[in-house]
């Protein structure tokens, strides 16, 4: 492939001496300015990079010769670029919307500097009618910086109430690594919004940012943009929109996983956008008849919280007082299963109980909430995620109670717990007899308080 | 730290923190944050960091004030605050020897030598088994005494003899010995006094035993042989040398004898040291510390092992040398002073020694007093119960009675005390009634119990009624000891809802002893619905056993069990246990019961003990009867006049509530999508013969499926 470009490399060698008057530039950044045929004045980013100090000319030539082969592909893509958008937006730039009307180009530059990005220039495009700035293009020295900057999409702008609303400038999209690969291998150039999905049933109150956050939470940094269509006259949401992803995998995941997500009280309806491509994934579709395909997407579930998380086996009981001893409270709760830990608060008004199994906690919660004991009203609730429970590292080994009666792990010797856990499924008559005896003994222990 | 925050001491519940001097706002500005820090430390007296910052601040202010020319009154107030601060901390945790030292240093800066020594003197009185404090104290004494003052010399000797008596046998007591030997040597090299010290020292298994032996070998030749070796041993040597008397021995022979004698002693000591070393080396904490409570508790086994070893090695047939074991116990009780188990071990050891009864009693009582009053937190029951037993065993019924009464008052949370310690209170009530059952005449005991129980309920009915109307005779005839009638009359005031079931069960047991079955059943009929019995396991257990085992009456048993299953507030495992007993009884007597009685329990036992509120109907009835949420709903409905409260209504309500939480307990979802014309429902069944097509399903609540979930607010 590279062989066909060799002559151009030769040309570049010949072109080089024209710039000998200036200090030796670094090759990688230099190429755009050097080979842009139509650039009468050097673009800002090339200027800044041109004056990067370099050792000496010999060193430069050596470096250049060593690296020339590797850089043809880059050269190629930039060359293609120039043909498509030579007058619209500058190289390595991104689109920035939702601007404050007060801002001018320097303000925007300041904003970017404040967040530690170094854009080379900002160009505000005026709205034809109102003369207010609607959007601008922000240029960067390199594509890497663009990629870095675009990650700020959706983040708040420091010192203002607004958030960054960023997008790739249409001209620089094809510099993305994956699409440039496609180009290099010579495949057909795909349409721009290749991996988009349609979003229907959007509530009026839902904003683009809300949707973006939902997608971005689930697939961080893999969503490019969310658009909600608005009526041009009334500026009211039409109730549908589109979301664009970086590749088809994410798109399909989103289609199946987020369909039916409830936002603003309504369930989203997701579908494939008309012009998006879908890679061959036969599992997701069922061919009923030629030409008709139905995608089956499971409905998404709401995110887990302390009430619904199956890892939460902790319940908190409130409404106790000094009329209850620790042992008494434990009696009420241990009836429903093995307890890992039991802790009473210092003022004896509440207790935190961690069960071994979720099912035990569910029973306790269901049956003990609202109980009236000794004229005290107990309330039982799920433990709080931040404070009282953590995600289990592994699932319970056994899904039934270990002992003849439920036990408290924190008050039982480790060996005893282990012994009861390792009880084999084959029981001899003696085993059964001993289980029977322990049950009766446990019964007496309960009744003797 | 976490364990120390749960320590409760007598002072916590008896007195509120003294507000006058410690109060913050009254202090002048030059006192910095002293007032504020004092209050904080008092509020949370188990947190050593708060005390630490208080003392630092005191010191800082003191340095500041003494740099400038401070007013006399300011300094005096400062002194007072310091004393109060240290006093408060050290009366709570006397074993914090570090703080005694700090105090004495602070005192020295504040007022000089004399008062600093006074502090140390109190310290060694309060913590007599601390080598560090004794060392500091003796140091201070020696540094200040006048060389030619015989009176003072005698005083120092008197003090160090006490120190040695208590701590001389301590494995790590070498700093103390060093200090004393140095003092004696400064008076006179190789004196009679130091000989006496060395003679003891070479026999004691101490960490630095070898050094002392070496020191001694350097000087022992200066003494006469008869002073060095006891006559018995000396005679033995003399006979070996075929002499009549030691006076005729040659100098070389004498020297040989001395060398040989002490070499043997040394070997013996060496052996003892090495056998102790395996335990000594495991001991990591020798001092009490609040910061390392967790570590100290974790290391307690090492002490226990050591103690066990020493106790095993001790010869109980004679009392000789028991002080050495006592010394070890006292050492163990410095870091572990809050641990009731070691105190009990100590008592058990003392109890086994062959001593005169009176002496032993004195010793043990002293240990109990020290542990109960100064160290072991109130939350430990065992030690206090054992103390009562000990008193009873020694025929001190009155003392025990008085002691328990005091405890009950303390725990009950009624009088001046702020905290109600339930389990301690119940244990004390049990112990007290146990004493009474032994001390009082049978009938008197029975009458007392009866009065207690009956008074309790009648008093609740009419609070105005006077209880104590008979106080003519002061003493009641007793089997042994005497219990003042005053106690019998005050106890009713100290009973509460938690203790009355205990008293009741004791009363019922007395009735049972008298075979008064009618009385037992009458009591049941009269009181079984009382609120206080609803959550008392022992009360219901008594009746189940009474009807089931003693008075075998299955009809009554069924009735009692029905009440237990549907009305009480017992924990589920207790109800299940009672059902199990019931089941066993029915099962064992099936032949007699089969035709005549309700034996459905045979089939229903598993249902009745199930956790499912739907299948276990007695469970949901019981829960419905004791659920305030249901009651509130019911009352709300009742007031609107829809229908009166009935049990079945309650059950419906609770089942509805369970249904709305089905699959997601805690989250109530009222409306779920449903098919209203389900073909499963009767009347909707489809005939397979007729060609009719069943109607399409009709749904309800479909639109509510997407409603946001209402999570309860916590």
- Mind listing the pLDDT tens digit for each residue in B220-268? 777 777 777 777 777 777 777 777 777 777 778 778 888 888 888 888 8
Q: Looking at residue B30, what is its pLDDT?
A: 66
Q: Which residue from A313, A312, A315 is spatially nearest to A304, judged by alpha carbons?
A: A312
B244 falls within a domain:
no
How far, in Å, CA of A192 to CA of A179, rounded?
Answer: 10
| For testing contact with chain B, the best of A305, A347, A365, A367 (most B CBs within 10 A) | A367
Cβ contacts (< 8 Å) between A374 and chain B: which residues? Answer: 497, 531, 534-535, 569
Task: Chain A: give the shortest CA distance to residue B569, in Å.
Answer: 6
- Is the model more confident about B50 or about A72? B50
How far, in Å, CA of B577 to CA of B174, rounded?
Answer: 61
Give the residue from A183, A203, A224 where a domain finishes.
Answer: A183
Q: Which residue from B237, B155, B165 is spatially nearest to B197, judged by alpha carbons?
A: B165
Min mean pLDDT across A178-187, B110-119, B184-193, B238-247 is at A178-187
Q: What would the mean pLDDT of B377-383 be, rounded to a whole number?
A: 76
- H runs (alpha helix) in A185-338: 208-218, 248-257, 326-334
Per the DSSP assignment, residues forming a β-bridge with A122 are A138
B112 falls within a domain:
yes
Interface of A with B in 361-380 (CB under 8 A): 362-363, 365-367, 369-375, 377
Is the domain of A107 the same as that of A215? no
Q: Looking at residue B584, what is its pLDDT?
A: 92
Q: Looking at residue B124, what is its pLDDT?
A: 80
B205 falls within a domain:
yes
Q: Which residue from A372, A109, A23, A104 is spatially nearest to B626, judged by alpha carbons?
A: A372
For chain B, report the end-to-end CA distance as a whole number of angstroms.
29
Cβ contacts (< 8 Å) between A446 and chain B: which residues? Answer: 537, 573-574, 577
| For testing contact with chain B, the best of A301, A370, A438, A441 (most B CBs within 10 A) | A370
Give the residue from B228, B261, B280 where a domain finishes.
Answer: B228
How far, in Å, CA of B613 to CA of B623, rounded?
Answer: 9
Is the domain of A135 the same as that of A244? no
Task: Give the single-character DSSP code of A2.
Answer: G
Q: Looking at residue A131, what is its pLDDT?
A: 61
Each residue of A184-216: pLDDT tens digit?
Answer: 344 434 445 468 888 888 888 888 888 888 888
Q: What would the mean pLDDT of B465-475 be, rounded to a whole number?
A: 41
- The token duo for B103 is 């105090």
Range of the domain at B203: 7-228
The H-or-E segment that residue B273 falls in is helix B251-280
Is this model's pTM higher than 0.80 or not? no
Instruction: Decide the pairing of beta strands A285-289 and A223-230.
Output: unpaired
Min mean pLDDT across A1-10, A400-409, B596-605, B673-682 is at A1-10
Instruction: Decide the pairing of beta strands A285-289 and A292-295.
Output: antiparallel
Each residue of B17-59: pLDDT tens digit?
Answer: 443 444 444 566 666 677 777 777 777 777 777 777 888 887 7
Task: Chain A: give the shortest CA distance to residue B634, in Å.
Answer: 14
B511 falls within a domain:
no
Q: With bands split at pLDDT 50, 70 and 90, how would you rate the model's confidence at B363?
A: confident
Q: With bands split at pLDDT 50, 70 and 90, how would you rate the model's confidence at B647?
A: low
Q: Looking at residue A299, what is its pLDDT?
A: 67
Give the residue from B179, B207, B228 where a domain finishes.
Answer: B228
Is the domain of A318 the same as that of A385? yes
Give the residue from A153, A183, A213 where a domain finishes.
Answer: A183
What Cα–Cα distance (Å) separates residue A412 from each residue in A354, A397, A407, B346? 15, 18, 7, 27
Q: With bands split at pLDDT 50, 70 and 90, how would you rate the model's confidence at B447?
A: confident
CB proximity list for A116: less than 8 A, separation 6 or greater: none
Kindly provide the ipTM of the predicted complex, given to two decimals.
0.72
Count Cβ atoms below 10 Å from residue B52 Cβ, excluding itself.
Answer: 17
Cβ contacts (< 8 Å) between B609 and chain A: which residues? Answer: none
How far, in Å, CA of B408 to CA of B403, rounded?
Answer: 9
Q: Which residue from A103, A110, A142, A140 is spatially nearest to A125, judged by alpha carbons?
A: A103
How far, in Å, CA of A332 to CA of B535, rounded?
Answer: 11
Is the domain of A194 the same as that of A234? yes
Cβ contacts (< 8 Å) between A299 and chain B: which residues? Answer: none
B151 falls within a domain:
yes
Q: Looking at residue A69, what is its pLDDT?
A: 43
Give the residue from A263, A295, A327 where a domain finishes.
Answer: A295
Inspect the interface and report whether the beta carbons of B666 and A369 lie closer than 8 Å: yes
- State the average pLDDT for chain B: 79
A380 falls within a domain:
yes
pLDDT at B642 over 60: no
How far, in Å, CA of B534 to CA of B180, rounded?
Answer: 68
Is the domain of A323 the same as that of A410? yes
Q: Looking at residue A333, what is its pLDDT?
A: 93
Q: Looking at residue A51, what is its pLDDT?
A: 42
Is the domain of A73 the same as that of A119? no
Each residue of A8-59: pLDDT tens digit?
Answer: 433 434 434 343 344 443 444 444 333 444 434 444 443 433 344 444 444 4
pLDDT at A90 over 50: yes
Q: Give the count of Cβ contacts less than 8 A between chain A and B.
A: 113
Each residue of A117-166: pLDDT tens digit?
Answer: 788 888 887 665 666 667 788 888 888 888 888 877 777 787 777 778 88
Q: Looking at residue A129, what is its pLDDT?
A: 61
Is A335's Cβ below 8 Å from some Cβ in B? yes
Q: What would the mean pLDDT of A361-382 be, rounded to a whole number?
A: 90
Range of the domain at A150: 93-183
Task: Give the single-character DSSP code of B597.
Answer: S
pLDDT at B668 over 90: no
How far, in Å, CA of B304 to CA of B74, rounded?
Answer: 50
Q: Looking at residue B439, what is its pLDDT?
A: 80
CB proximity list for B653: less than 8 A, separation 6 or greater: B624, B630, B633, B634
Is the domain of A329 the same as that of A441? yes
Q: Looking at residue B545, what is its pLDDT?
A: 92
Q: Looking at residue B11, what is its pLDDT?
A: 60
Q: What would the mean pLDDT of B425-429 be, rounded to a whole number?
A: 86
Task: Give the single-character DSSP code of B18.
Answer: P
User: What are the b/e assignments for B366-383, b being 16+ CB within 10 Å?
Assistant: ebbebbbebbbbbebbeb
Each residue of B541-581: pLDDT tens digit?
Answer: 999 999 998 888 889 999 999 999 999 999 999 999 999 99
- The token duo for A175 is 């510099």
Give the CATH number for residue B79.
1.25.40.10
B15 falls within a domain:
yes
Give the residue from B164, B199, B228 where a domain finishes.
Answer: B228
Domain tally for chain B? 2
CB proximity list for B669: less than 8 A, separation 6 or greater: B660, B661, B709, B710
Residue B143 φ then ψ, to 5° = -65, -30
pLDDT at B216 over 90: no
- Contact yes or no for B597/B554 (Cβ under 8 A): yes
The H-or-E segment that residue A415 falls in is helix A414-421
What residue in B sits closest to A303 (Cα-Cα)? B709
Q: Looking at residue A351, what is its pLDDT?
A: 92
How far, in Å, CA of B120 to CA of B138, rounded?
Answer: 9
Q: Looking at residue B570, what is its pLDDT?
A: 92
Q: Looking at residue A179, what is its pLDDT?
A: 39
Q: Looking at residue B421, what is its pLDDT?
A: 79
The H-or-E segment that residue B124 falls in is helix B113-126
- Contact yes or no for A110/A100 (Cβ under 8 A): no
Q: Looking at residue B9, what is its pLDDT?
A: 65
Is the domain of A130 the same as that of A51? no
Task: Chain A: give the shortest CA distance to residue B31, in Å.
Answer: 33
Inspect the interface and report whether the beta carbons of A372 and B661 lie closer than 8 Å: no
- The token duo for A437 is 């005896």
Is the domain of A409 the same as that of A326? yes
| CB hemisphere CA count around B270 (13 angstroms) | 10
A286 falls within a domain:
yes
Give the CATH number for residue A422.
3.30.70.330
Dihedral sign (CA A424, A427, A431, A437): positive
The packing angle between helices B150-167 and B322-332, to 10°, is 80
In the block, tokens 């619209």 appear at A88
How far, in Å, CA of B537 to CA of B275, rounded?
Answer: 52
- State the average pLDDT for chain A: 70
Q: With bands split at pLDDT 50, 70 and 90, how would you rate the model's confidence at B461?
A: low
- H runs (alpha helix) in B500-640: 500-513, 517-527, 537-545, 554-567, 572-588, 590-593, 601-608, 617-625, 628-639
Q: Looking at residue B29, what is its pLDDT?
A: 65
B34 falls within a domain:
yes
Residue A228 φ then ψ, to 5° = -110, 130
Q: Looking at residue B462, what is its pLDDT?
A: 54
Min mean pLDDT across B302-306, B361-365, B477-481 is at B477-481
The H-or-E segment that residue A293 falls in is strand A292-295
Q: What would the mean pLDDT of A264-269 be, rounded to a whole number?
A: 82
Q: What would the mean pLDDT of B57-71 be, rounded to a whole number?
A: 73
Q: Looking at residue B639, what is its pLDDT?
A: 57
Domain tally for chain A? 4
Is the domain of A240 the same as that of A360? no
pLDDT at A281 over 50: no
pLDDT at A418 over 70: yes
Q: Which residue from B88, B112, B93, B65 is spatially nearest to B17, judged by alpha carbons?
A: B88
Each residue of A288-342: pLDDT tens digit?
Answer: 555 555 566 666 677 788 888 888 889 999 998 888 888 899 999 999 988 989 9
A301 falls within a domain:
no
Each residue of B299-308: pLDDT tens digit?
Answer: 788 888 888 8
In the block, tokens 């059950």 appear at B651
Q: Looking at residue A72, what is its pLDDT?
A: 41
pLDDT at B4 over 60: no
Residue A246 φ then ψ, to 5° = -80, -25
- In B449-497, the DSSP E strands lie at none
Is the domain of A42 the same as that of A138? no
Is the domain of A208 the same as that of A128? no
pLDDT at B269 over 80: yes
Task: Give the single-character DSSP code of B535.
Answer: T
Each residue of B146-156: pLDDT tens digit?
Answer: 777 777 888 88
B26 falls within a domain:
yes
Cβ contacts (< 8 Å) between A384 and chain B: which residues? Answer: 714
A306 falls within a domain:
no
pLDDT at A364 over 90: yes
Q: Which residue from A303, A218, A219 is spatially nearest to A262, judged by alpha carbons?
A: A303
CB proximity list for B512: less than 8 A, separation 6 or greater: B520, B546, B550
How far, in Å, CA of B384 to CA of B378, rounded?
Answer: 9
């Amino acid at each position: 492939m590279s062989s066909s470009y060799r002559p151009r490399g030769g040309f570049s060698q010949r072109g080089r001496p024209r710039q000998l008057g200036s200090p030796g530039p670094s090759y990688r950044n230099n190429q755009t300015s050097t080979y842009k045929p139509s650039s009468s004045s050097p673009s800002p980013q090339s200027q800044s990079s041109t004056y990067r100090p370099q050792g000496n000319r010999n060193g430069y030539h050596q470096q250049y010769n060593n690296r020339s082969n590797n850089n043809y592909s880059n050269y190629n893509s930039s060359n293609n670029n120039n043909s498509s958008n030579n007058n619209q937006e500058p190289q390595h730039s991104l689109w920035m919307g939702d601007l404050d009307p007060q801002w001018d180009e320097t303000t925007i530059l300041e904003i970017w500097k404040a967040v530690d990005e170094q854009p080379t220039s900002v160009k505000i495009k005026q709205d034809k009618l109102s003369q207010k700035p609607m959007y601008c293009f922000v240029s960067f020295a390199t594509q890497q910086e663009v990629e870095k900057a675009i990650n700020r999409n959706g983040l708040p702008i420091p010192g203002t109430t607004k958030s960054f609303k960023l997008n790739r400038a249409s001209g620089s999209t094809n510099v993305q690594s994956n699409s440039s690969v496609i180009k290099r291998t010579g495949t057909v150039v795909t349409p721009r919004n290749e991996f988009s999905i349609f979003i229907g049933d959007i509530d009026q109150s839902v904003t683009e940012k809300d949707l973006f956050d939902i997608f971005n939470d689930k697939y961080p940094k893999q969503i490019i943009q969310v658009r909600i269509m608005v009526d041009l006259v009334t500026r009211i949401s039409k109730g549908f929109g589109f979301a664009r992803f970086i590749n088809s995998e994410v798109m399909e995941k989103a289609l199946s996983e987020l369909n039916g997500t409830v936002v603003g009280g309504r369930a989203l309806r997701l579908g494939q956008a008309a012009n998006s491509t879908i890679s061959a994934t036969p599992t997701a579709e069922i061919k009923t008849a030629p030409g008709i395909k139905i995608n089956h997407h499971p409905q998404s579930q709401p995110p887990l919280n302390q009430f619904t998380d199956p890892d939460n086996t902790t319940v908190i009981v409130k409404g106790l007082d000094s009329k209850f001893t620790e042992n008494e409270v434990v009696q009420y709760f241990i009836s429903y299963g093995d307890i890992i830990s039991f802790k009473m608060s210092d003022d004896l008004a509440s207790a935190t109980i961690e069960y071994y199994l979720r099912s035990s906690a569910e029973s306790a919660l269901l049956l003990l909430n609202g109980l009236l004991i000794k004229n005290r009203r107990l309330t039982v609730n799920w433990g709080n995620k931040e404070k009282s429970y953590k995600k289990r590292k592994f699932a319970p080994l056994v899904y039934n109670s270990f002992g003849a009666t439920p036990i408290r792990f924190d008050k039982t010797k480790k060996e005893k717990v282990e012994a009861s856990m390792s009880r084999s499924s084959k029981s001899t008559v003696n085993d059964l007899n001993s289980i029977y005896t322990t049950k009766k003994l446990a019964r007496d222990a309960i009744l003797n308080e | 730290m976490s364990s120390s925050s749960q320590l409760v001491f007598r002072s916590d519940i008896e007195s509120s923190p003294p507000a006058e001097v410690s109060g913050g706002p009254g202090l002048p500005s030059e006192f910095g944050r002293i007032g504020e820090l004092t209050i904080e430390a008092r509020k949370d007296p188990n947190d050593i960091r708060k005390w630490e910052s208080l003392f630092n601040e005191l010191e800082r202010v003191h340095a500041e004030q003494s740099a400038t020319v401070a007013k006399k009154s300011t300094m005096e107030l400062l002194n007072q605050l310091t004393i109060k601060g240290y006093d408060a901390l050290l009366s709570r945790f006397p074993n914090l020897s570090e703080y005694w030292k700090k105090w004495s240093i602070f005192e020295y800066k504040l007022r000089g030598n004399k008062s600093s020594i006074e502090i140390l003197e109190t310290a060694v009185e309060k913590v007599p088994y601390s080598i560090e404090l004794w060392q500091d104290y003796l140091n201070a004494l020696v540094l200040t005494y006048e060389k030619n003052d015989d009176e003072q010399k005698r005083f120092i000797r008197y003090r160090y003899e006490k120190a040695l008596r208590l701590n001389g046998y301590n494995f790590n007591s070498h700093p103390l010995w060093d200090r004393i030997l140095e003092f004696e040597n400064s008076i006179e090299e190789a004196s009679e006094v130091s000989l006496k010290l060395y003679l003891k020292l070479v026999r004691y298994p101490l960490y630095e035993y070898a050094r002392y032996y070496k020191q001694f070998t350097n000087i022992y030749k200066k003494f006469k042989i008869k002073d060095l070796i006891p006559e018995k041993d000396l005679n033995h040597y003399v006979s070996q040398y075929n002499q009549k008397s030691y006076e005729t021995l040659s100098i070389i022979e004498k020297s040989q004898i001395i060398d040989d004698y002490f070499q043997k002693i040394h070997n013996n000591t060496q052996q003892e040291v090495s056998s102790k070393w395996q335990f000594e080396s495991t001991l990591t904490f020798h001092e009490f510390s609040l910061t390392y409570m967790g570590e100290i508790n974790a290391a307690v086994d090492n002490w226990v092992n050591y103690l066990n070893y020493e106790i095993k090695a001790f010869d109980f047939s004679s009392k000789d040398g028991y002080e050495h074991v006592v010394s070890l116990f006292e050492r163990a009780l410095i870091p572990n002073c809050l641990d009731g188990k070691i105190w009990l071990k100590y008592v058990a050891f003392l109890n086994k020694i062959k001593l005169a009864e009176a002496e032993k009693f004195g010793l043990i009582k002293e240990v109990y007093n020290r542990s109960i009053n100064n160290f072991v937190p109130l939350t430990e029951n065992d030690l206090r119960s054992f103390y009562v037993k000990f008193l009873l065993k020694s025929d001190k019924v009155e003392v025990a009675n008085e002691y328990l009464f005091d405890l009950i008052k303390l725990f009950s949370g009624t009088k001046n005390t702020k905290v109600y310690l339930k389990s301690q209170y119940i244990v004390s009530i049990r112990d007290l009634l146990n004493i009474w059952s032994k001390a009082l005449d049978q009938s008197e005991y029975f009458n007392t119990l009866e009065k207690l129980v009956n008074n309790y309920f009648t008093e609740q009915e009419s609070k105005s009624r006077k209880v104590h109307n008979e106080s003519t005779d002061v003493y009641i005839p007793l089997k042994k000891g005497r219990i003042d009638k005053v106690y019998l009359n005050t106890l009713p005031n100290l009973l509460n809802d938690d203790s009355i079931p205990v008293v009741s069960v004791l009363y019922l047991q007395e009735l049972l002893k008298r075979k008064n079955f009618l009385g037992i059943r009458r009591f049941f009929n009269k009181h079984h619905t009382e609120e206080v019995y609803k959550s008392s396991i022992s009360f219901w257990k008594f009746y189940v056993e009474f009807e089931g085992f003693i008075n075998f009456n299955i009809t009554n048993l069924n009735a009692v069990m029905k009440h237990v299953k549907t009305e009480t507030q017992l924990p589920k495992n207790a109800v299940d246990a009672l059902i199990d007993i019931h089941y066993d009884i029915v099962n064992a007597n099936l032949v007699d019961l089969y035709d005549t009685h309700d034996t459905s329990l045979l089939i229903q036992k598993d249902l009745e003990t199930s956790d499912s509120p739907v299948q276990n109907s007695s469970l949901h009835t019981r829960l419905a009867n004791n659920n305030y949420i249901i009651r509130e709903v019911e009352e709300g409905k009742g007031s609107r006049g829809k229908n009166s409260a009935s049990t079945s209504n309650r059950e419906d309500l609770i089942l509805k509530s369970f249904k709305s939480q089905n699959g997601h307990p805690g989250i109530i979802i009222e409306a779920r999508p449903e098919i209203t014309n389900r073909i499963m429902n009767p009347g909707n069944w489809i005939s397979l013969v007729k060609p009719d097509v069943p109607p399409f399903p009709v749904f309800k609540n479909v639109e509510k499926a997407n409603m946001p979930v209402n999570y309860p607010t916590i």
